[in-house]
Chains A and B, each alone.
Chain A
Amino acid sequence: MIHLLVSVKQVPDTTNIRIDPETGSMIRKGVPAILNPYDAHAVASAAEWKRKLGGKITVITMGPPAAEEALQECIEMGADRGILISDRAFAGSDTLATSYVLAEAIRKIHEEDPIDMIFFGKQAIDGDTAQVGPGAAIRLGMPLITYAVDIQEINKEEGFALIERKTESGREIIKTTLPAVLTTEKSIAEIPYAALPDLIYSLKYKPENWSAEEPLMYDINQIGLNGSPTMVAKSGSPEAHEPAETISVEEEGIAGVVENTLNKMLSNISVASLWEELK
């Protein structure tokens, strides 16, 4: 029987974001909030192992009240217990403060009910920093394996796990003691299509609510703006580019367009030098 914990985040669907050209800020309206895709695959992986070895899954999230929906999706995939860590005091937290909040929550859960493995998605698609998982691991003093693409074995009795990790040059098989912290790629597990009873259970499930003071008292100097060494100095939309010169097949015909294209391309200095070497 194993106890797995997954830390998840609700994020705006960044593929659908637009910037208000007047104010320079994000248009949030109509942009759905979703369970961070990397976290979803992490939960799916935990669910697979829960099925294999028996046990339970706890999911936690630090976020606004709406993040309950993300927890619900996790319950649908097989998580048993969901905890929403939410408080105004957390607002403005950067990755250092966030890893503090999550690590302390994990520590408390671990004390009451020892955890065997902790999952984070590789990164959140809004911040894309990939810093919170490693930060939490260091605070908990647990071994960290990032970019995990497969869990080959979890052996609770002997206290180890075999994790396959992906790097630019190849794949590593890491043997780690337990408990350990993983940050996972999407390929680690497929998102299951939940059975109807599980979906219904998740629709009726109410997550637990933790604040900055209950059930554990956070150090106000380490949360929110106070606990964040980094801050945004300024933000805006990326510069617009000059639109390209375009030629269309409709107007010039295929052969004509391609000839035109190659002529223009090869008259560019960089491309011309390339062409010299290729010929």
Chain B
Amino acid sequence: MTRRFWVFIEQNKGQMHPVASELLGVANCLVSEIADELEKTGEEAVVEGILVGHQVEDLAQEAIQFGAERVYTVDDPAFEHYLNRPYTDALIYLIEKYKPEVFLIGATTLGRDLAGAVATSVKTGLTADCTKLEMGPFRKIEKKLLLATRPAFGGNVIATIVCKDHLPQMATVRPRVFESPPRDLKAKGKVIQEDFKVTPEMLAANLVEFITDENAGVNLEYATVIVSGGKGLGNPDGFKLIKELADELGGVVGSSRAAVDGGWIDYAHQVGQTGKHVRPKLYIAAGISGAIQHKVGMQDSDYILAINSDPKAPIFEVATLGVVGDLYEVIPEMIQQLRARKGAQV
């Protein structure tokens, strides 16, 4: 019996979403955690990618290079652009055919649209937005189960969920929670084309038009420097200052949920549990109090600088260095000194 650990390879316009490679790394980790069981039973475990789209052979190779032993593809013009029903039905077909043990999907807009529909159809358990995944023992069950850990209640509680009697055990993970494994250009694996046809009734809802978003350029999740502003800015204009500092450091502008909810900046900039998870080298939080749901989104940054006038702000608990002061004084001074340092090098 082969134990299959599946990763959904999300793609858009011929580009693989980085979260898929991140999850391939996770899947391989999970497989290594059941090595003892495999030895005992003599079973085999494989990490397999599931790729749905049109003309996706190159992406299949990429998935193999990031750690998939095998990739199943459903390739048809009808799958060119993501639609819920055709993709859901394709996945259901594959799940019923191959009976995977674990199925990981990136918690992107697409992934969250897809995962719930698939899990419900297959009548299995799904844990969303996991921050930790491992195979571990649960009660007296022989086989290790997927232990999926996630924040709940706005990040105030950390819960570990198991799905003990249903397969596949499904989980979604937000981009950047895990690091991408290294890419092995010499990796070899099998690509299996699956025969699945779309029927007209699957197209009850279809795409009429696609409008690109100016905010689509906001690549917060993979930025190396992020400067974020929050309610402490006092008003939306404060983001101009944030942008100035971000530009000076070659970074991207981020925001707390409060500022987004207040309409000061677009949701694309929101860092946090319900926004984006980030792990930049440098994260500067200005005027952000540091509510748990924000911390959860940025606490993996290499270096965190917090600027806040309230010495008791919770953000100082997660920061590497905290400056207690008025950001409208500190940041302009910082920009000035940074420029001076740069000028001194020339």
A residues lining the B interface (CB < 8 Å): 12, 14-15, 17-19, 26, 94-96, 99, 123, 125-139, 142-147, 162, 166-177, 180, 228-238, 240-250, 254-255, 257-259, 261-262, 264-265, 268, 270-271, 273-274, 277-279
Given the complex, which residues of A lie within 8 Å of B55, measured CB to CB? none
Given the complex, which residues of A lie within 8 Å of B216, measured CB to CB? 168-170
Evaluate contact between A19 and B157: CB separation under 8 angstroms.
yes
**Bound form: Cα–Cα A167–B325 in Å:** 38
Quick one: which of A174, A257, A271 contacts B303, CB cutoff 8 A? A271
Q: A250 → chain B, closest Cβ, in Å? A: 7
* B6 proximal to A (CB < 8 A): no
- Of the A-B pairs whose beta carbons lie under 8 Å apart in the complex, a sample of 21, sorted by A's number, is A127-B128, A128-B151, A131-B116, A135-B117, A138-B120, A146-B84, A166-B109, A170-B210, A170-B212, A170-B216, A238-B151, A244-B321, A246-B316, A246-B322, A248-B311, A248-B323, A248-B324, A261-B305, A261-B330, A262-B341, A274-B225
Residue of B nearest to A176 (CB): B205
Evaluate contact between B333 and A254: CB separation under 8 angstroms.
yes
Interface residue SS majority, chain A: mixed
Given the complex, which residues of B lie within 8 Å of A228, measured CB to CB? 125
Given contacts A138-B121, A246-B324, A262-B338, contact A15 B154 (CB under 8 A): yes
B residues lining the A interface (CB < 8 Å): 12, 84-85, 88, 108-110, 112-113, 115-117, 119-121, 123-129, 138, 147, 151-166, 204-213, 216, 224-225, 249-250, 268, 273-274, 281-282, 291-293, 296, 299, 302-306, 311, 316-326, 329-330, 333-334, 337-338, 341-342, 345
Q: B287 → chain A, closest Cβ, in Å? A: 14
Given the complex, which residues of B lie within 8 Å of A262, measured CB to CB? 334, 337-338, 341
Evaluate contact between A144 and B209: CB separation under 8 angstroms.
no
Given contacts A96-B123, A230-B162, contact A175 B323 (CB under 8 A): no
Evaluate contact between A12 and B153: CB separation under 8 angstroms.
yes
Quick one: which of B153, B303, B306, B342 contacts A17, CB cutoff 8 A? B153
Q: A121 → chain B, closest Cβ, in Å? A: 13
Evaluate contact between B208 and A279: CB separation under 8 angstroms.
no
Evaluate contact between B128 and A236: CB separation under 8 angstroms.
no
